[in-house]
Amino acid sequence: MHEKTIAQLSAGLAAGEFSSEELTRAFLERIARFNPRLNAFITVTAETALVRARAADQRRQRGEAGPLTGVPIAHKDIFCTEGVRTSCGSRMLDRFTAPYDATVVEKLNAAGAVMLGKTNMDEFAMGSSNETSFYGPVRNPWDLEAVPGGSSGGSAAAVVGRLAPGATGTDTGGSIRQPAALCGITGLKPTYGRVSRWGMIAYASSLDQGGPMARSAEDCALLLGAMAGFDPRDSTSADRPVPDYAALLDRPLDGLKIGLPKEYFGEGLDGAVAQVVEEAITEYRKLGAETVEISLPNSRLAIPAYYVIAPAECSSNLARFDGVRYGHRCENPKDLLDLYTRSRGEGFGAEVTRRILVGTFALSAGYYDAYYLKAQQIRRLISDDFQRAFQQVDVIAGPTSPTVAFKLGEKVDDPITMYLSDIYTIAVNLAGLPGLSLPVGFATGLPVGLQLIGDYFAEDRLLNVAHRYQQATDWHLRAPAAFA
């Protein structure tokens, strides 16, 4: 059963080929068997999963099942789950049991999806390799010595390792798309405001967005349909209807205009990756699409601007972790200052500490204009670049990541090199646009992802464009031999 996509599992459940309980047991067994090797899950909720699976089976008997009813999924451990540890990959929240469900969790529960557990991630979603997790690195199922990407590395590894057919992720600078690319799955970062941020632990509030990670665009469409929608609890949630993504997948691509930003194919892009991406673009031409070279002239400023805005917001967002009301508290604080500095110093790892320091500095007196304000102006320029491009083209395509998955430990001591892994994904978050990564082949035996970028709220178009490709190819169905 584990080799099936969500769409296939949904059909199997509907046809009575297997029950949700059987399906859930099958995935729980795979998790028990493979997770020690992958470290994709921080917490496995086997008991509640079985309870919910049985409830889903009953719901089906009552004739009230939807497409996700009874389908097992995993949640990135950044989403609050009532009564279940929600660690955010940090020692700070190692013993934090969330008292409420995130909207995304609530919505997927309501759709009848069965939570298998909480997936590993870079600490507070800060990282591109999953090596900053307090719970240790996740391994890439294609090469256990390679990183799965990050920060949603646990979700990506779980999906490609067939420990879960689909998972939630969050993307602040590429945290859904980059691990999706490095693990060879499909991942979608929706338009900012499309998916509620309520209950999703904030890293950088103006950039964070939750989204689906699964094998195929069709599966992502099913998941996004359940996750998206207006939430009155999130002031930045967009009040507009959610299209029936699954119903819009099959539109032909004839006449589709794909923009290829010249800045995404230049220096820094690995040659083998470039070749695979070119082949994917050739495939799109065969499918009827037309390609046009475009320019996003301020692309190179995305990383500099991001490393001001995201740390600035994170330095403030993470101030609430102070050892007073929940979370890690140091032993025997001698005074209030000691309580704060030691609880936080012990609770946060190196990368989180680094970003808090950068952000604190960027906002501090005398530097605000030079850093924060400047970065927000650059953000506008980057966003304007995209808007100009969308007057010319329907979607933008390019590599998701400049390289395939790199080795564990390879970049861990060099933050700047690590930050460059997100060179093609970050601008999308700054502009708030939707972006999707789909697997389009292999370079040196590791998956390569193609990134599709759409205009605001064009998730349906991105899913359609990815789906048509997946109808014509089978890269998204490939599994690492050891996990097939």
Partner 1 sequence: MSLGPAEVAKIAHLARLAIRDEDVPAHARNLSAILELVAQMNATNTAGVAPMAHPLDMAQRLRPDAVAEPDQRACFQAIAPQIEAGLYLVPKVIE
Partner 2 sequence: MEWETVIGLEIHAQLATKSKIFSGASTAYGAAPNTQACAIDLGLPGVLPVLNREAVRMAAMLGLAIGAEVARRSVFARKNYFYPDLPKGYQISQYELPVVQKGQMAIDLDDGSSKVIGITRAHLEEDAGKSLHEDFHGRSGIDLNRAGTPLLEIVSEPDMRSAREAVAYMKKLHQLVVYLGICDGNMQEGSFRCDANVSVRPKGDSKFGTRAEIKNLNSFRFVERAIEFEIERQIDLIESGGKVVQETRLYDPDKGETRSMRSKEEANDYRYFPDPDLLPLVLDDAFIDAARAALPELPDAKKQRFMEQYGLSAYDASVLTTSRELAGHYEATVAALGGEPKLCANWVMGDFSAFLNKDNRDIADSPVDAAQLAGLLRRIQDRTISGKIAKEVFEAMWAGEGDADAVIKQRGLRQITDTSAIEKVIDDVIAANPDQLAQYRAGKDKLFGFFVGQVMKLSKGKANPQQVNDLLVEKLKG
Which residues lie near partner 2 (CB under 8 A)?
79-80, 86, 88, 93, 96, 98-100, 102, 197-202, 204-206, 232-236, 312-313, 315-316, 318-322, 324-326, 336, 340, 360, 363-365, 368, 372
Residue 298 interacts, among partner 2, partner 1, none and using kind-specific CB cut-offs from 5 to 8 Å, with partner 1
By beta-carbon proximity to partner 2, the closer residue of 18 and 326 is: 326
Q: Residue 386 is which amino acid?
A: F
Closest CB 291 distance from partner 1, rounded Å: 27
* Window of 47-55, 248-256, 339-347, 469-477 that interacts with partner 1 by CB under 8 A: 339-347
- Give the residue numbers marked as catalytic: 76, 151, 175
Considering CB distances under 5 to 8 angstroms, the limit depending on partner class, which of partner 1, partner 2, none binds residue 62?
Answer: none
**For partner 1, which is the closer residue by CB, 316 or 471?**
316
Return the half-sphere exposure (C-beta side, CA atoms, 13 A cut-off) of residue 303.
Answer: 11
Smallest distance from partner 1 to CB 373, Å: 6
How far apart (Å, rounded) are the C-alpha atoms in residues 167 and 388?
A: 34
CA distance 93 to 78: 10
Residue (206 or 291) nearer to partner 1, CB: 206
Q: Which of residues 97-126 bind partner 1 (CB under 8 A)?
A: 97, 99
Restricting to residues 5-24, name those near partner 1 by CB under 8 A: none
**Farthest CA pair distance, the chain:** 69
* Single-letter amino acid code for the residue at 456: Y
Using the 8-state DSSP alphabet, how is residue 74 labeled? E
Q: End-to-end alpha-carbon separation of the chain, Å?
A: 11
Q: Which helix (H) or strand (E) holds 59?
A: helix 46-61
Q: Give the 3-state DSSP-derived string for 178-210, with helices as H, strands as E and coil as C.
A: HHHHHHCCEEEECCCCCECCCCECCCCCCCCEE
In the block, residue with structure tokens 């950088």: 204
- The residues in 371-430 that bind partner 1, with binding defined as CB under 8 A, are 371, 373-381, 383, 415-416, 419, 430
**In the block, residue with structure tokens 């691990």:** 179
Which listed option, partner 2, partner 1, none, makes contact with residue 348 (CB within 5 to 8 Å by class)? partner 1
The residue within the footprint of partner 1, chosen from 177, 215, 342, 467 (CB under 8 A), is 342
In Å, what is the CA distance from 202 to each residue of 176, 330, 342? 15, 23, 22
Q: Nearer Cβ to partner 1, position 280 or 296?
A: 296
Residues 186-245 that bind partner 1 (CB under 8 A): 191-193, 206, 232, 235-236, 238-239
Q: Taking CB under 8 A as the rule, does residue 176 contact partner 1?
A: no
Q: What is the distance of C-alpha 179 from the center of its chain? A: 7
The site for partner 1, by CB under 8 A, has a size of 72
The token duo for 208 is 């964070």
| Residue nearer to partner 1 on the CB measure, 58 or 364 | 364
Among 27, 245, 307, 469, contact with partner 1 (rule: CB under 8 A): 307
Q: Supply 402's token pair.
A: 């400049």
User: Residue 166 or residue 454: which is nearer to partner 1 going by CB?
Assistant: 454
Residue 48 C-beta-side C-alpha neighbours within 13 Å: 17
State the minimum distance, in angstroms, from the CB of residue 97 to partner 1. 6
**Among the listed residues 73, 308, 389, 466, the single contact to partner 1 using CB under 8 A:** 308
Calculate the dihedral angle through the C-alpha atoms of 121, 122, 124, 128, rounding to the nearest 10 degrees. Answer: -120
Q: How far apart are CA 249 and CA 325, in angstroms?
A: 46
The option from partner 1, partner 2, none interacting with 473 (CB < 5 to 8 A, set by class) reads none
Least Å distance between CB 242 and partner 1?
16
Between 337 and 481, CB nearer to partner 1:
337
Instruction: Choose the contact partner of 265 out of partner 1, partner 2, none; CB within 5 to 8 A by kind.
Output: none
Site for partner 1 in 433-462 (CB under 8 A): 433, 456
Q: Which residues contact 380 (CB under 8 A, 6 or more apart)?
A: none
| Tokens, residue 449 | 């992802």
- Quick check: helix, strand or coil at residue 168? strand
Query: CA 39 → CA 14, 127, 158, 430, 436, distances in Å?
Result: 32, 16, 9, 31, 25
Radius of gyration of the chain (CA): 21
Residue 86 binding: pick among partner 1, partner 2, none (C-beta 5-8 Å cut-off by kind): partner 2
**Smaller CB distance to partner 2: residue 234 or 346?**
234
Q: Which of 128, 401, 450, 439 is nearest to 270 (CA)?
A: 401
Distance in angstroms (rounded) separating the CA atoms of residues 188 and 459: 8
Member of 32, 144, 357, 482 binding partner 1 (CB under 8 A): 357
The entry of partner 1, partner 2, none that residue 481 binds, CB within 5 to 8 Å by partner kind? none
Name the binder of 110 from partner 1, partner 2, none, CB < 5-8 A by kind. Answer: none
Give the shortest CB-92-to-partner 2 separation in angstroms: 9
